[in-house]
Structure 1
Amino acid sequence: MRRLPVRSLAVLATVGTLALTGCGTETAGGGAPATAAAGRTIRAHQVMRLTEVHAETGMTLLEGPTFDENGDLLVVDVTAPAGEPKVMRVDVRRKTSKAVHTDDRGAYTSAQFSPYDGRLYLTDYAHGEIVSLAPDGSDPRTFFSGEVDGAGMNPDDIAFDKEGNLYVSDSRGLSTGDAHGRVVRIERDGKKSTVLAEGLAPVNGISFDADYQGLWISELTQDRISYLRLDGAGTVTSRHTAIRVDGGIAQTDSIAVDADGNLYQALHGRAAMIVYNKHGERLATVEIPAGTKGLESATNVAITPGGTKAYMTVSGPGGGYLYTFDALGKGIRQSNGG
């Protein structure tokens, strides 16, 4: 995270200062430049306001939208102080929400349900941990903490493979600007961790492609989306810069992928998302209505499983909101937060 005003969460240096930010790294391959004029505009519409700026932290930052098996949407508030809801369950039809979980230390930047045990997994960026909850928010457990290859993590987003192993974007280096970002694989039992890629700018978004053949990752400080091809054992066999995002003052945040393989790239520093196909062609820009005040970042999106209704988390000095739009493809697991 960076400092105030809110920056999409690539970084949360400490819970006390609550700075926000993100990352990137140079690799082989040229990458396809995206022209600002390409694609059409999709207008997102407000669903509801979920949070206001917290007096204790001076901000609010919604992230990690993910649907549970009942069709409710769970959302995290990265900067919520102790006692305030850090995980919320939203009934998007009734436009109501209720607290699911809070604690006195976590700074949770993403949420994902595991296909292996059905629990909700949260990344605690500030403390380098991954925490899991029962679907109703009870039974909190520390799933993973400590160093990976001699260095602690700043875990940002999660992607699960079909077997329930975790692939985590590690935003190390965000506070210094150094290329210490990594992609880390953690076995589904939490007992073994492996660095799959390193020497990256701080990594923020991470998602499998539609066929689980590789990972899309966004390097926030470089406005770059890279592609990591995987073998059957989950090992990276190649890596290249796939898309260079023309974000202006905005930076690349979380990533989601729909059933057609399209990428939804969230923007930190602009309340919008850019949609690309897998070949790097810019298909559309998702924007909130022109003239909307107080909203600065669109951090993430979840697309209804099997449908095209998408819900985007948007935050800024005006509060934390949910916006909705019609996605270009149907929702799958890779469309469900991150």
Structure 2
Amino acid sequence: MTTHPTLHSTPHRHPRAALAALAAGGLLVLAGCGTQTSGAPASRPASSGEGKTIRATQVAHVTDPHEATGRTLLEGPLLRENGDLYVVDVTAPAGKPKVISVDLATGKHKGVYTDKTGAYTSAQISPYDGRLYLTDYTGSVVSTEPDGSDPRTFFSGEVDGSAMNLDDIAFDDEGNLYISDLHGMKPGKADGRIVRIDRDGEQATVLADGLAHPNGVTFDPELRGLWISELAENTVSYLLLDADKTTVTSQHEAVHVDAGVAQTDSIAVDADGNLYQALHGRPAMAVFSPNGERLATVEVPAKAAEGLESATNVAITPGGRKAYMTVSGPDGGYVYRFTALGDGIRQSNGG
């Protein structure tokens, strides 16, 4: 049954209240920023419906499952100007690195930022102030300097009377934020939202709701609209925005992702408008043209895939085609590299 989201344009002023720490059980449920899967095939050859196969190669083994949470989950890859890659570990416990810098030449890595309570699901640099922005599943947005210093709570609290469970983030050129809100991820309930937060953090607007666990969110290359992936329905929808980017003017389901037991996780675009759809429950990405044609499937080597469960997101080098995919599972959290079909842009770097 198709769920028809409701569109909104009502602003809401939020209180800057601190959020309680995420319960350990809730953090475990979060794994994959999606629902738990079991018995998923580790890898499979691309069929005629999956386009060509792109083989990814390992760059770095970044994390191992944490004793405190039983998991590790890398997300939000972000390429820095110095060539390093930032990733977040969603399930890292208090005191362990939650933002990690990876040297892509050597595979060496080091912690950049941590705190006691955050469960960070994405990362991106704001084009407005150059700070690093992190979405916290527990309902807040934290910003730091790029080196992890000067942490600030940019936004927290309810929007339209409801608490948020934040996942991915996108910025427009003016620095306003567009965030996917999983809204509790209740099975069988399509009550997720896309929320716009002004760049000063003072006003939040629900752009669309009634969504089936919205996960990925990214602008198209022209910044006319948002591509969003709905994890519970394995669909990618397109939300056309007005000139001010404060209202959705039209919306439709654009792509249905045939992924079997896997589900649609984060999404990115390249300069040609191609969509890179990460898969939760399979260490792979599906690549579509902006017209919905399945162009390719990015796969890790079959032997490595046996210990991996999900590919969560990708960062493509701005102006180039080197793409870096975050992959995690019982064997740990990894970064894999492949060649993208189009050049990277800001919309394919972080989020």
Tell me if both proteins adopt one fold, taking TM over 0.5 as the criterion: yes
Aligned residue pairs, count: 314
Structure 1 residue ranges without an equivalent (≥5) = 1-12, 24-34
CA contact (8 A) 2:22 2:117 kept: no
Correspondent of 1:287 among 299, 304, 325:
299
8 Å contact from structure 2 (residues 125, 350) kept in 1: no
Shift in Å, 1:162: 0.4
Question: Which residue of the partner structure matches residue 24 of structure 2?
Answer: 16
Which stretches of structure 1, 4 residues or more, deviate above 6 A after TM superposition? Answer: none
Report if aligned partners of 2:218, 2:269 keep a CA contact under 8 Å in 1: yes
2:155 alignment partner in structure 1: 144
Question: Could you tell me the percent identity over the aligned residues?
Answer: 68
**Of 246, 254, 260, which residue of structure 2 is paired with 1:242?**
254
Identify which of 227, 237, 241 aligns with 1:230.
Answer: 241
1:37 is paired with a residue whose SS is helix
| Matches of 2:107 and 2:119, distance apart in 1 | 25
Question: Superposition pairs for residues 260-279 of structure 1, below 5 Å?
Answer: 260-279=272-291
Task: Note if 1:77 corresponds to 2:89.
Answer: yes
- Verify: 1:115 aligned to 2:127, yes or no: yes
Of stretches 35-44 and 113-122 in structure 1, the one that deviates more from structure 2 is 35-44
After TM superposition, the score normalised by the length of structure 2 is: 0.87
CA contact (8 A) 1:225 1:241 kept: yes
> Over residues 101-124 of structure 1, what are the superposed CA-to-partner deviations in whole Å (9 max), with x where a residue is unaligned?
011110000000000000000011
The 1:255/1:40 distance shift into structure 2, 3 A limit, reads: same
Separation in 2 of the partners of 1:103 and 1:15? 15
Partner of residue 199, structure 1: 210
Match of 1:324 in 2: 337
Quote how far apart the aligned CAs of 1:85 are.
Answer: 0.5
Distance 1:36 1:83, change over 3 A: farther
Distance 1:180 1:173, change over 3 A: farther
**1:58-105 deviation digits (Å, cap 9, x = unpaired):** 000000001122221110000001111000111101221111001111
- TM alignment of 1:88-237, pairs within 5 A: 88-125=100-137, 127-234=138-245, 235-237=247-249
Between the aligned partners of 1:81 and 1:164, the Cα distance in structure 2 is 30
**1:175, distance to aligned residue in structure 2 (A):** 3.1
1:32 corresponds in structure 2 to: none
Shift of 1:36: 6.0
What TM-score, normalized by structure 1, do the two folds share?
0.91
Alignment of 1:20-31 (within 5 A): 20=30, 21-22=33-34
For 1:297 and 1:59, how far apart are their aligned partners in 2? 12
SS at match of 1:138: coil
Amino acid at match of 1:185: R
Task: Give the drift of 1:173.
Answer: 4.1
Which range moved further: 165-174 or 259-268? 165-174
Q: What's the counterpart of residue 55 of structure 2?
A: 43
Q: Secondary structure at the match of 1:259?
A: coil
In 1, Cα distance between the equivalents of 2:313 and 2:23? 21
SS of the residue corresponding to residue 151 of structure 1 reads coil
- Paired residues of 1:108 and 1:122 also in contact (CA < 8 A): yes
